[in-house]
Amino acid sequence: MRAMSRIGITMGDPAGIGPEVICKSLAAMSADERAATLVIGDRMFMERAARLVGADELFTGAGGVRLVEEEAPNRDTILPGVLSPDAGEAACRCVKKAVEMAQAHEIDVIVTASLNKAALRAAGYPHNGHAGLLAHFTGVKRSYAVLACPQLTVIHVSTHVSLAKAPGECRTGRILETIRAGHAHMLSAGVAHPRIAVAGLNPHCGEGGLYGTEDDEQVVPAVAAARAEGMDVAGPVPGDVVFMQAVDGKYDLVVAQFHDQGHIPAKLIGRHATVNVTAGLPILRTSVDHGTAFDIAWKGVADPANMQAAIAMARGMRPVPQGQ
C-alpha cells in the first residue's frame, strides 16, 4: 500500500467559513489522516474555529494537527463576515507559504479554503483568486481550471472571459495545451491511460459550417496534434452529448471550451462533491468549489462536505515524473 499523501490546508479568508469547515473536516479524520495533514493559518482564528465546532484540542492536544503559523495583520480588527484587506492579506500569505512548502517537498498537495477576490484586490493583489496567485507564486504563465467529482472531470480552455470573447480564446494552440494539461492531471490522479473528449465549441460542432467553422478550423487540428503525441483523444464531440457520454464511462476527462459549458454539468452532477483543481502548475492543488459565505461565517452552520471532498481528492493525488 502506498503512503498517504501529505496535505497542507490553507486557512482561506479568516472572515469567512474557511476555518470552520477546515476544523469540522479535521475533527472527522482518523488519527493516521491527521498525522499526514497540516494547516497553514493564524493560530487565533484556527483555535477559535476549533472551539466553535467543539474540538478544542484540535491543534494542541495529543494527536493534534500541526499548525504552521501565518499571523494575520491587524488580526483583532478582522470581523466575521466583513470584507477586509487584512483578511485578504492573511489568506494570501497562507497560499504563499503553502507553495513554498510544496516546492520544498514538505507537503505533497495543497488544499485551499476559500478566499474573497474583492478582499484580495483590496489587499493589493491584482490576481483572479487562487489560480492567479498560484501561477504568480510558482512562476507559470498559465494554469487551467479543472472541476472534478466522482462521475465527471472537466478541464477548461477558457474560463473568466465573456461569452463573446470565448471563441477567440479557443485557438488550436491553446486547446492543445489544455489537452496536455488535462492528460497530466489525470495521470496525477491515478488514471494510467486517460481517455479524453474535446467538446465542440458550436452547436453540433458547427454542422459542417452551418453554425460556425471554429470546430473544423481550430478544434480538429488540436485533436489531431494530441493524437500524434500519443494521447487518447476524441473530438470535437457535440457539447450536448459529451458530458453524458463521460458520465456513462466512455471518457475520463472532457475538455470544455468555455466556463459555463464545463461548470454547469460538473456542478449539477457533482453538487457538493465537485472539487476545484488547478492543472498546469509544478505543484498539486485542490480546493473547495464555494466562496467565503460571509452571510453564515462563524455561526457554526457551514457544511464541510465540499472541503472533505477536496481533501479526499488530494489524498489520492501523486506528482507525476516529467516525461510521462
C-alpha cell at 94: 497562507
Are 73 and 86 contacting, i.e. CB atoms less than 8 angstroms apart? Answer: yes
**Are residues 152 and 131 located together in one domain of the fold?**
no
> Do 194 and 187 contact (CB within 8 A), yes or no?
yes
* pLDDT above 90: residue 320: no
- Beta bridge pairs of residue 255: 155, 198
Q: Over pLDDT 70: what percentage of the chain?
A: 98
- Do 108 and 132 lie in a common domain? yes
Number of domains, the chain: 2
Does any domain span residue 276?
no
* pLDDT score of 323: 46
pLDDT for position 64: 84
Mean pLDDT, the chain, rounded, equals: 93
The neighbouring-strand residues paired with 286 are 111, 277
Which tens digit of pLDDT belongs to each residue from 47-90? 999 999 999 989 986 778 999 999 999 999 999 999 999 999 99
Could you tell me if 173 and 222 lie in one domain?
Answer: yes
Dihedral of CA 24/29/31/36: which sign?
A: negative
**CATH assignment at residue 195:** 3.40.718.10
Structural domain contains residue 107: yes
Specify whether 20 is located in the same domain as 104: yes
Asked if 116 and 156 sit in the same domain, the reply is no
Q: What is the reported pLDDT for 60?
A: 84
CA distance between the termini of the chain: 22
CA distance 199 to 178: 12
Q: Whole domain around residue 15: which residue ranges?
A: 1-143+281-324
Name the pLDDT band for 2 (thresholds 50, 70, 90).
Answer: low
State the pLDDT at residue 321.
55
47 and 92 share one domain = yes
**Residue-wise pLDDT tens digits, 76-125:** 999 999 999 999 999 999 999 999 999 999 999 999 999 999 999 999 99
Q: State yes or no: pLDDT of 223 exceeds 90.
A: yes
Q: What is the mean pLDDT of residues 217-243?
A: 97
pLDDT at 197 over 70: yes
* Alpha helices, DSSP H, located in 42-165: 43-52, 85-103, 117-122, 130-138
Q: What is the mean pLDDT of residues 184-213?
A: 94
How far apart, in whole angstroms, are the C-alpha atoms of residue 229 and residue 223? 10
4 and 136 inside one domain: yes
pLDDT at 258 over 50: yes
User: How is residue 149 written as a grid cell?
Assistant: 467529482
Q: Which residues, other chains included, contact 53 with Cβ-Cβ below 8 Å and sequence gap of 6+?
A: 20, 23, 24, 27, 300
Query: For the segment 137-170, what is each residue's pLDDT rounded down to a tens digit?
Result: 999 988 899 999 999 999 999 988 899 999 999 9
- Whether 139 and 151 map to the same domain: the answer is no
* Strand partners for 148: 153, 275
1 pLDDT exceeds 70? no
pLDDT at 38: 97
Alpha carbons 247 and 10: distance in angstroms, whole number: 31
